[in-house]
Amino acid sequence: MQIQKGNILVVDDNKSILSTLEILLSPEFQTVTTLSNPNQIPTELRKKDYNLVILDMNFQAGVNTGNEGIYWLGRIKETNPEVSVVMITAYGDIDIAVKALKAGASDFILKPWDNEKLLATLKLAIQLNLSKNEVKHLKERETELKKEFNRDQKFIIGSSPQLMKVLNMVRKVAKTDANVLITGENGTGKELIAQEIHRLSNRSKEVLVSVDMGSLSESLFESELFGHIKGAFTDARENRQGKFEIADKGTLFLDEIGNLSFHLQAKLLSAIENRQITRIGSNQLIPTDIRLICATNRNLESMVHEGLFREDLLYRINTIQIELPPLRDRGNDIIILSEFFLKKYAYKYNKPNQKINQQANEKLLKYSWPGNIRELQHTIEKTVILSETAIIKPEDLFLRQTNSIKNLDSFNTLEEMEKQMIQNALEKNNGNFTAAADQLGVTRQTLYNRLKKTDK
């Protein structure tokens, strides 16, 4: 005999009725739980996701109005509107039956019952619940997918050998389901590479869901990634799918994963390894089928050695690693990208026919671009806004005052070069010594020691 899907809660003050229904229903359905006290209903519904509640109409001896059953029916529907509720009573009062159906009951059965008819009624009620849940799931997914699809479409631009090497690796790994870790400095285009992997993958017809782990607070981590049910916490006013659910059958991109606290890394690792999650406030395990792509500008191996990043999580996310080159190493791609951004912002700010002259291009090539493509984009936008002529000259470009890494002749000693690199790293990371140390590939203490040495 095939067991039907469905978790059933039976609530009746008659313990013989509870025993009879448990014996009858247990071989037919996944789980059957019984309660003799209706006051335990709210607690039980929070403990497990039920598809059906079989609810007695009367609980006090000598009271046959059905008002108690109607009351508890309302409480159930208030907190769990999708749950099917079948009312059961020994009194065949049609008015009570109609009142229960109007209040949201799925059906109404009488004691004593015919076993075959009872099973047919319950199976139909459970099927109604499963259908409601599926519609609800699809609506939630549709809402979240609209947010994902409304993201701006961006493109990978350039033809340098360094970029071609990266794209060649992207093509090789895209058709697999291997987890990918994309590394590189801030602004090198890690999210674009994740989008390209998804576009070329077998999951391209599904959604790519992006999560900025750097902007995610610890209190929102589980809700954002795993979702929550209504009432799970103060602001949980409705059920919400997490990013793992939304990305099911597609790709999940976790940007800035190096910023995730050690405590939360364990929860992420569990979800990845078990391929299932649980929404906050629920006990229901939800299977997930995702392709995972992560990105960071930090040195995760150094973080592992310093006890800041889990080694087992690093192995799990790092099946394939793709290192993006900094913009300063991509040669003429700087000019190609600047022309692309120039056309974009000239159109946006209604300044047609703008061009960058040769001297300005040479200035762009000599600059070290510590902020990479993102900095170049912002530089061109600012230049377009402030320029007063159609020809952009070197003096029109607003670049940060920092030594170009290409201009090695400007340093007389290795100590001078080291000092400048440390200053650049600290400037780039807004004075954050840990992030600067990660960028330079040294420990925080080593960075302190080197900085003291260069200041002597």
At 116, which CATH number? 3.40.50.2300
283 and 371 assigned to the same domain: no
- 286 shares a domain with 217: yes
139 falls within a domain: no
What per-residue confidence (pLDDT) applies to 106? 87
User: Cα dihedral angle (33, 35, 39, 41), rounded to 10 degrees?
Assistant: 20
**Residue for token digits 């009312």?**
87
Cβ(336)–Cβ(159) below 8 Å? yes
366 and 288 fall within a common domain: no
d(CA 98, CA 443): 73
Does 298 share its domain with 181? yes
pLDDT given at position 406: 44
Whether 179 and 92 share a structural domain: no
Query: b vs e for 224-252, b when ≥16 Cβ sit within 10 Å of the residue's Cβ?
Result: bbbbbbeebeeebeebbbbbbbbbbebbb
Q: What is the pLDDT of residue 114?
A: 84
In terms of domains, do 50 and 124 share one?
Answer: yes
* Total domains, the chain: 4
Q: Can you give the pLDDT at residue 369? A: 95
Whether residue 216 is contained in a domain is answered as yes
Whether 75 and 28 map to the same domain: the answer is yes
- Which of 442, 435, 367 minimizes the C-alpha distance to 397? 367
Domain end (from 323, 349, 373): 323
Does 389 lie in the same domain as 374?
yes
Same domain, 224 and 373: no
In a domain, 209, yes or no: yes
CATH assignment of the domain containing 446: 1.10.10.60
Question: Residue 244 falls within a domain, yes or no?
Answer: yes
pTM beyond 0.85, yes or no = no
Q: Are residues 230 and 296 in the same domain?
A: yes
pLDDT attached to residue 435: 77
Helix 444-455 and helix 433-440, axial crossing angle in degrees, nearest 10: 90
- Taking the C-alpha atoms of residue 9 and residue 129, their distance in angstroms, rounded to an integer, is 14
SS (H, E, C) 1-34: CCCEEEEEEEECCCHHHHHHHHHHHCCCEEEEEE
Domain-terminating residue out of 115, 133, 151: 133
Whole domain around residue 14: which residue ranges?
4-133
Give me the CATH number covering residue 311.
3.40.50.300
Residue 144 lies in a domain: no
Measured between alpha carbons, how far is residue 49 from residues 10, 42, 243, 283, 349 in Å? Answer: 14, 12, 21, 7, 54
Q: Do the domain assignments include residue 224?
A: yes
Question: What pLDDT score does 64 carry?
Answer: 64
Tell me, yes or no, whether 142 lies in a domain: no
Q: Which amino acid is at 6?
A: G
Phi, psi of 5 (to 5 degrees): -60, 150
Is residue 297 located within the same domain as residue 445? Answer: no
CATH code assigned at 340: 1.10.8.60
Query: Among residues 114, 133, 152, which one ends one of the domains?
Result: 133
Distance CA 51, CA 398 (A): 63
Q: For residue 143, tell me if it sits in a domain.
A: no
What's the pLDDT score for residue 391? 94
Ranges under pLDDT 50 in the chain: 1, 150, 403-406
Q: Is 344 in the same domain as 445?
A: no
Give the residue from 192, 424, 181 showing the smallest Cα distance to 314: 181
Token readout for 297 is: 């500008």
